[in-house]
Amino acid sequence: MVKALFGPLRPDWEVVTLGEACARGGGDVQTGPFGSQLHASDYVPFGIPSIMPQNIGDNRIIANGIARIRPEDAERLNRYRVRPGDVIYSRRGDVEKRAGIRELWLVDLERERIEVLRQPAGGSYRTAETHRRGAQLTVEALPRLEFPVDAILG
């Protein structure tokens, strides 16, 4: 599946699960909210968008027809709030759909470098850059925020 999404990977790259990557980087994998937490009666014509699997497109959120909830329900479900940098994917149905993956950082601790893939197109990425110690990385969505490669590599 990795090859189908990103094309052939170099043999020195490591493929890990999302949970493993989160554990290494201090992130988290979270699911929900679930049906017991959000009922049909909670949806309103105007309010806070609630992303569901049908709203996940190819690297984007499909806002057309998105369900909405009241602000007080959004506050009650705050732990599920989408924040900048989150990756959103479906656990059921078409699990190959994903949104929010505009760029991919592949951290190679052994060779002390970070491969940055950007501009997704047709299941792959248009640009690839290699960054080594001493360099600064930026996220395209937050260009003024810099990450030192040295801090990422440890």
Place of tokens 């989150």: 86
Domain boundary (48, 69, 96) is at: 96
pLDDT tens-place string over residues 62-113: 888 888 899 999 999 998 888 767 778 776 655 556 666 677 787 878 788 8
Number of domains in the chain: 2
Residue 72 domain-assigned? yes
Rounded Cα–Cα distance for residues 87 and 78 (Å): 17
Rounded Cα–Cα distance for residues 37 and 35 (Å): 5
Task: Based on the fold, state whether residues 117 and 86 are members of the same structural domain.
Answer: no
- What one-letter code names the amino acid at 136? Q
Give me the domain span that covers residue 16: 2-25+102-153
Task: Based on the fold, state whether residues 45 and 83 are members of the same structural domain.
Answer: yes
Task: Based on the fold, state whether residues 46 and 82 are members of the same structural domain.
Answer: yes
Residue 154 is classified by DSSP as -
- What one-letter code names the amino acid at 106? L
The stretch 136-149 carries a mean pLDDT of: 80
Determine the pLDDT at residue 93. 59
Domain boundary (76, 96, 116) is at: 96
Higher local confidence (pLDDT), 122 or 107: 107
Determine the pLDDT at residue 131. 93
Residue 108 domain-assigned? yes
Task: Based on the fold, state whether residues 125 and 89 are members of the same structural domain.
Answer: no
Secondary structure E strands in the chain: 43-50, 56-57, 60-61, 67-69, 88-89, 98-99, 103-108, 113-121, 124-132, 136-139, 142-148
Residue 57 domain-assigned? yes
Handedness of CA 48, 54, 56, 57 (dihedral sign): negative
